[in-house]
Amino acid sequence: MSTVADASPAPSPRPSPAGSAATRTSAPDAPAIRPKRARGTTTGHLLGILAWIVGLIFFAPVAWMVLTSFKQESQAASNPPTFLFTPTLDQYKAVLASGAGSYLLNSVIATACSTLLVLVLAIPAAYALSIRPVKKTQDVLFFFISTKMLPVVAVIMPIYVIAGQLRMLDNLLTLIVLYTAMNLPIAVWMMRSFFLEVPGEVLEAASIDGASLMRTMRTVLLPMVAPGVAATALICVIFAWNEFFFALNLTAANAATVPIYLMSTMTSEGLFLARLSAASVIASLPVVLAGWIAQKQLVRGLSMGAVK
Amino acid sequence: MTTAAATGTPQSRGSSQPRRTAPPRGAAQSRADGWSRRLPLLPAFVFVVICTQIPFLLTIWYSLRSRNLLRPEGEEFVGLQNFLDIFRDSTFRGAALNSILITLACVAVALLLGLGLALLLDRKFLGRGIVRTLLITPFLIMPVAGAMLWSISMFDPTYGLVNWLISLVGVGPVDWTSQLPVFSIVVALVWQWTPFMMLLLLAGLQSQTGDVLEAASMDGASPWQTFRHITLPHLRFYIELSVLLGAIYVVNTFDQIYLMTAGGPGTASANLPFYIYQRAFLGFDIGQSAAMGVVTVVATIIISTLALRLIFRSINAKEQS
């Protein structure tokens, strides 16, 4: 069924001056601009406008959240909604003064450490599943992905009990280990897909030179898959930063992360909508910015490397 | 047979059975080779096994014992009693049904919306990059923030934006999260997952080679015919992938249910993850919640193995093409 000829050595559509497909212009997204073009541009304009409208509808809740975060509480919870107001930074100041800092720090530590650990474990594993493959490569890949199907809730109780016996409840290390396990299968799949793109000649040349495995890895392979490492890290950061379930059940005062802080602003102090919105903006901002900047890597990461 | 040393060549990569027939005299050498291949894999493999399989084995162990932290009389081996109990538990059946309903509805709607949006974005228009950026934002928002945004800012009965909007056309105030809890959750989930579907499908559309489409239009195919007979078959792999991955994530939905409805009113909108959580951490019934966990895993494995085999074939076909 897939008659696609896009498995050429340069699969990423953007920088492909390879000229393999003659019709493909340098602008990657204009593959033989739709047949509609022949029928005048009115439909085209309308469809463009439609895309804008839908895009704005999807974005509207986010825009509303940002808007609310600059309001006073009385303006935030008004009926009819307040659209015109003098923006204030009071809510952001209140959030930062209320001790959000320690939660942010916990999130940063858990996210950064788990992502690093994932990369350290996943890169060699992906190597052993692509460039110098073990015998049962397919089975191992299948095993990794099947663990993602395991509902987390089915293992939370034993994890809670084990962590309790090891005196690791409310400990960042527990979150780091679990986030690593959570992201590792995705990372292995992703890194494998990047390794598979390394041309065989490069590796052959390195092995003829008699370079050791570690040296080949460091000097030849890693530079070539560096964009892949970045994409993998991005995905791990997104999932770890946003994780809520483990944090809810396994942390308390010491190791709680940003999602827990968000929840506590809602439940413990009644409803301060403007302040909650400001906290939500702060909590979401790192991942939103990262995702905006790295949209292409995002696609590849979300599909675990299967979509380029 | 002497070329067994040609490891790492392109031929041996990616194939399921790398040819490594051992030379008869070098059995030890080939074993060494096998281990040197396995070594880089082991840390990750062992890590995942320890973190996922051992807790699951413990879950099975718990599921065969009666253990309730509220009852002091201790625990004992009860065999399959927990399983019988949960199947008699109508809340469990309801939660299972909700899980299926929420997953199906969310994946289906998000897929259709995502496909439509991907088609819209697969053409040039002014500010396309901006629209794409706007559209992926819901996926990047922290799910906890998204859940609260929907349950309060959007769906609140008195000052929510949605009720204000429908009041403009004269529809009375609706208490969304109490009157239509499952619907409200599905809306929040669709909002979050449509960008995911859109991104994958858009990548699929953009990997289409232009000449095929051009040829079709030269042959006088209508846009619909082109879509139906060329684009859709090409997209099949991408659709399968986004459905499978989307379903994996959505079936485990917890954040939205916990924060928007807390499974309520009553247990009307509880799905399996939420109900199991409730029984374990609020009801302290470890045996039964473990049994539910086991049932969930078995069901997930059955369903996903079928789906996974399918997608695995597609990925392999694609890698080899």
Read off the pLDDT band of A198 (50, 70, 90). confident
Residue A79 Cα, gap to closest chain B Cα (Å) = 5
The predicted model scores a pTM of 0.84
Mean pLDDT (whole number) for A45-55 = 92
> Is the CB of A249 less than 8 angstroms away from the CB of B281?
yes
Read off the pLDDT band of A31 (50, 70, 90). very low
Residue B67: pLDDT over 90: no
> Is the CB of B273 less than 8 angstroms away from the CB of A153?
yes
Looking at chain B, which residue has its C-alpha nearest residue A238? B140
pLDDT at A267: 65
Residue A93 Cα, gap to closest chain B Cα (Å) = 19
Residue B267: pLDDT over 90: no
Q: What is the ipTM of this complex?
A: 0.83
Identify all chain A residues contacting B149, using CB atoms and an 8 Å cutoff.
Answer: 61-62, 64-65, 277, 280
Higher pLDDT, B105 or A197: B105
> Is the CB of B38 less than 8 angstroms away from the CB of A47?
no
pLDDT tens column, B157-176? 888 889 889 888 888 788 88
Identify all chain A residues contacting B236, using CB atoms and an 8 Å cutoff.
Answer: 1
Higher pLDDT, A213 or B263: B263
pLDDT tens column, B180-209? 999 999 999 999 999 999 999 999 898 887
> Is the CB of B17 less than 8 angstroms away from the CB of A135?
yes
pLDDT tens column, B106-128? 999 999 999 999 999 988 888 89
pLDDT at A30: 43
> Is the CB of B217 less than 8 angstroms away from the CB of A38?
yes
Tell me the C-alpha distance between A226 and B156, whole Å: 46
pLDDT at A187: 93
Residue A28: pLDDT over 50: no
Substitution target in B48, B121, B212, B309 with the highest count of A β-carbons within 10 Å is: B48
Mean pLDDT (whole number) for B145-157 = 90
Read off the pLDDT band of A80 (50, 70, 90). confident
Residue A98: pLDDT over 80: yes
Helices B54-63/A156-165 angle, 10° precision? 100
Residue B272: pLDDT over 80: yes
Q: What domains can you pick out in chain A, each with its CATH number? A: 37-92 (no CATH), 98-302 (1.10.3720.10)
Close Cβ partners of B261 (under 8 Å, ≥ 6 residues apart):
B151, B177, B178, B181, B184, B185, B268, B269
Residue A221 Cα, gap to closest chain B Cα (Å) = 12
CATH number of B89-320: 1.10.3720.10
Close Cβ partners of A217 (under 8 Å, ≥ 6 residues apart):
A127
> Is the CB of B226 less than 8 angstroms away from the CB of A124?
no
Q: Is B162 left (phi over 0), alpha (psi -120 to 50) or beta?
A: alpha
pLDDT tens column, A262-303? 988 876 556 788 889 999 999 999 999 999 988 888 888 888
pLDDT at A87: 87
List of long-range contacts for B15-23, beta carbons under 8 Å, 24+ apart: B15/A133, B16/A137, B16/A138, B17/A135, B18/A133, B18/A135, B18/A137, B20/A135
Residue B278 Cα, gap to closest chain A Cα (Å) = 10
The closest of B204, B199, B187, B189 to B114, measured between CA atoms, is: B199
So where are chain B's domains? Answer: 89-320
Mean pLDDT (whole number) for A58-67 = 95
Residue A5: pLDDT over 80: no
Read off the pLDDT band of A210 (50, 70, 90). low
The owner of tokens 């080779």 is B33
Identify all chain B residues contacting A131, using CB atoms and an 8 Å cutoff.
Answer: 8, 13
Identify all chain A residues contacting B124, using CB atoms and an 8 Å cutoff.
Answer: 29-30, 33
Substitution target in A68, A130, A150 with the highest count of B β-carbons within 10 Å is: A150
Tell me the C-alpha distance between A29 and B258, whole Å: 41
Residue A11: pLDDT over 60: no
Query: Percentage of residues in chain B with pLDDT exceeding 70?
Result: 89
Out of B20, B153, B200, closest to residue A65 by CB: B153
The owner of tokens 């403009």 is B168
Identify all chain B residues contacting A151, using CB atoms and an 8 Å cutoff.
Answer: 251-252, 272-273, 293, 296-297, 300
Query: Percentage of residues in chain B with pLDDT exceeding 90?
Result: 36
pLDDT at B72: 66
Identify all chain B residues contacting A55, using CB atoms and an 8 Å cutoff.
Answer: 130-132, 134-135
3-state secondary structure chain B: CHHHHCCCCHHHCCCCCCCCCCCHHHHHHHHHHHHHHHCCCHHHHHHHHHHHHHHHHHHHHHHCEECECCCCCCCEECCCHHHHHHHHCHHHHHHHHHHHHHHHHHHHHHHHHHHHHHHHHCCCCCCHHHHHHHHHHHHHCCHHHHHHHHHHHHCCCCCCHHHHHHHHCCCCCCCHHHHCHHHHHHHHHHHHHHHHHHHHHHHHHHCCCHHHHHHHHHCCCCHHHHHHHHHHHHHHHHHHHHHHHHHHHHHCCCHHHHHHHCCCCCCCCCCHHHHHHHHHHHCCEHHHHHHHHHHHHHHHHHHHHHHHHHHHHHHHHHHHC
List of long-range contacts for B44-47, beta carbons under 8 Å, 24+ apart: B44/A121, B44/A122, B44/A124, B44/A125, B44/A184, B44/A188, B45/A125, B45/A140, B45/A143, B47/A121, B47/A180, B47/A181, B47/A184
Q: Which of A32-41, B31-40, B236-245 has the lowest mean pLDDT?
A: A32-41
